Structure 1
Amino acid sequence: MRIEYGILVIYNQPIERSSSYATFKDQLSILVADNSTTQELRNNNRRQVEQDGNFYLDMKGNQGLSKAYNQAISWIQQKEQKSCFVLIMDDDTIFGNDFLQKATQEMNSKQADVYVPIVKAEKQILSPCTIHNGRIKAIHSLLSVHEDTISAINSGMIVSLNVYQKIRYNENLFLEYIDHDFIRQLKQHKYSIHVLQQEIQQNFSVFENDKASAKTRFSILKKDLHVFYGKSLSQHFLYKSILWKRKLRAVIQYKDLSIVWKW
């Protein structure tokens, strides 16, 4: 088994600032899908990525995470005829320099279609997590993870290129819950998921530091949650409860009670 490609979606920042790109730019063939909104920044990113011997995909503006992933996958499928694995990474994830080596060793001893690492924010486990009746919960121990209830985030996920022949990322989702929807599709198609023993660190925050950006992110979340949970009445309360939790966190963070009715 071999991890041949990496996919990195970047948005409105120079590629040089990406910790994950810095780790793997000389270890993998990385395809950078650039959702940045300014031509100058995209040009600079293209120049740097190609100078490093990697590959650049200009999304010509922010097309959303799922579309960027899917176009990157299509690009790789056209180029790669052999079976291989693709590493999905966030731009700010911190990987060990030996991540690929150790992950490959573990993959050779345990066959699966998809591998997910242990993703932490400091000591908290962000991924894998569990999902039951639509409710996503963090875990405190890997003993809580079972095949029927597992979910995970995209960062660090290693996916067989064969998987993408049947399923893709849901382009009705712009940013949020894309990973959980993808895991849901994997289960529907009976693909196998294995949790790696490799740990990575994620710079994770629910809201942006800037309130205007946070409001935009909340608007995206609202739309994406509606897609993820659908029109089922049984999921409506869960949909509303997640939105209210996010609102209350924003009220506390920005000390602005008007967020309750303005957002």
Structure 2
Amino acid sequence: MRIEYGILVIYNQPIERSSSYATFKDQLSVIVADNSTNEEIRKRNQKQVEKDGNVYLDMKGNQGLSKAYNQAISWIQQKEQKSCFILIMDDDTIFGNDFLQKATQEMNAKQADVYVPIVKAEKQILSPCTIHNGRIKAIHSLLSIHEDTISAINSGMIVSLNVYQKIRYNENLFLEYIDHDFIRQLKQHKYSIHVLQQEIQQNFSVFENDKASAKTRFSILKKDLHVFYGKSLSQHFLYKSILWKRKLRAVIQYKDLSIVWKW
């Protein structure tokens, strides 16, 4: 099994600041889909990525994660005739330099369509996680993971190119829950998922301190949750409860009660 490509979506920052790009720019053919709204940043990123011998895709503004992922996948499908695997990465994920080597060893020992690493934010396990009746919960031990309830975030996910012949990322989702929707599709199509023993560290934006950025993210979350959970009454209740929890967390973090009615 070979991990041949990496997909990285970047937004309004120089590619040199991406820890994951720095790790894999010489190990994989990295397709950088640039969602930056700043044209100067896009020009500099294109110059650097192409200088490194990797592939630059200009999204000409922020088209959202799903469209960027799908465009990168389409590029790979046009170029690649053989079966291979693709590493999905966030720009700020910290991978060990031997991640590919160790992941490949595990993949050779256990066949699957999709592999997910253990993603942590400091000591907290972010991924894999569980999903049951639409409710996503963090885990404290991998023993909590079962085939029918597993979910995971995109960063570090290794996906067979063959999977993308049947499913793609949901372009009705802009930023949030894209990964959980993708896992849901994998299960519907009976694709197998295996949890790797490799650990990576994620600078997850749920922990961000900037209030303005948090408000923008909340607005996107609200729209994406509505798409993910649909219109059923039980799922609508879950959708509302998640939004309220996120609001209350922001009220405590920023000590601003007006968030309750302004966000």
Q: Same fold (TM over 0.5)?
A: yes
Q: TM-score, normalised by structure 1?
A: 0.99
For 1:11-52, what per-residue CA distance to the aligned partner results, in whole angstroms no more than 9, with x for missing partners?
A: 000000000000000000000000000111000000000101
For 1:132-184, what per-residue CA distance to the aligned partner results, in whole angstroms no more than 9, with x for missing partners?
A: 00000000100100000000000000000000000000000000000000000
**Aligned pairs, how many?**
263
How far has the Cα of 1:249 moved from its partner?
1.2
User: Which piece of structure 1 moves more, 4-13 or 231-240?
Assistant: 231-240
For 1:111-134, what per-residue CA distance to the aligned partner results, in whole angstroms no more than 9, with x for missing partners?
A: 000000000111111100000000
Q: What is the rounded CA distance, in whole Å, between the counterparts of 1:96 and 1:237 in structure 2? A: 40
How far has the Cα of 1:71 moved from its partner?
0.4
Q: What is the rounded CA distance, in whole Å, between the counterparts of 1:51 and 1:138 in structure 2? A: 40
Indicate the SS of the match to 2:180: helix
How far has the Cα of 1:207 moved from its partner?
5.5
Unaligned runs of 5+ residues in structure 2 are: none
Unaligned runs of 5+ residues in structure 1 are: none
Residue in structure 1 matched with residue 102 of structure 2 by the alignment: 102
For the Cα contact (< 8 Å) 1:207–1:214, is it kept in 2? no
Q: What is the rounded CA distance, in whole Å, between the counterparts of 2:51 and 2:14 in structure 1? A: 14
For the Cα contact (< 8 Å) 1:207–1:250, is it kept in 2? no
Q: TM-score, normalised by structure 2?
A: 0.99
Q: What is the rounded CA distance, in whole Å, between the counterparts of 1:52 and 1:182 in structure 2? A: 30
Residue in structure 2 matched with residue 40 of structure 1 by the alignment: 40
For 1:72-100, what per-residue CA distance to the aligned partner results, in whole angstroms no more than 9, with x for missing partners?
A: 00000001111000000000000000000
For the Cα contact (< 8 Å) 1:251–1:257, is it kept in 2? yes
How far has the Cα of 1:237 moved from its partner?
1.3
Residue in structure 2 matched with residue 190 of structure 1 by the alignment: 190
Q: What is the rounded CA distance, in whole Å, between the counterparts of 1:211 and 1:126 in structure 2? A: 22
Identity between Structure 1 and Structure 2 (%): 95
Residue in structure 1 matched with residue 113 of structure 2 by the alignment: 113
How far has the Cα of 1:209 moved from its partner?
2.8
How far has the Cα of 1:212 moved from its partner?
2.0
Indicate the SS of the match to 1:206: helix
For the Cα contact (< 8 Å) 1:116–1:193, is it kept in 2? yes
How far has the Cα of 1:205 moved from its partner?
3.1
How far has the Cα of 1:185 moved from its partner?
0.1
Q: What is the rounded CA distance, in whole Å, between the counterparts of 1:3 and 1:232 in structure 2? A: 40
User: Which piece of structure 1 moves more, 197-206 or 91-100?
Assistant: 197-206
How far has the Cα of 1:208 moved from its partner?
3.9
How far has the Cα of 1:255 moved from its partner?
1.2
For the Cα contact (< 8 Å) 1:36–1:60, is it kept in 2? yes
Indicate the SS of the match to 1:104: helix
How far has the Cα of 1:252 moved from its partner?
1.3
Residue in structure 2 matched with residue 125 of structure 1 by the alignment: 125
How far has the Cα of 1:214 moved from its partner?
1.5
For 1:203-247, what per-residue CA distance to the aligned partner results, in whole angstroms no more than 9, with x for missing partners?
A: 113164332221111110000000000001011111111101111
User: Which piece of structure 1 moves more, 15-24 or 211-220?
Assistant: 211-220
Q: What is the rounded CA distance, in whole Å, between the counterparts of 1:208 and 1:119 in structure 2? A: 17
How far has the Cα of 1:253 moved from its partner?
1.6
CA RMSD of aligned residues (A): 0.7
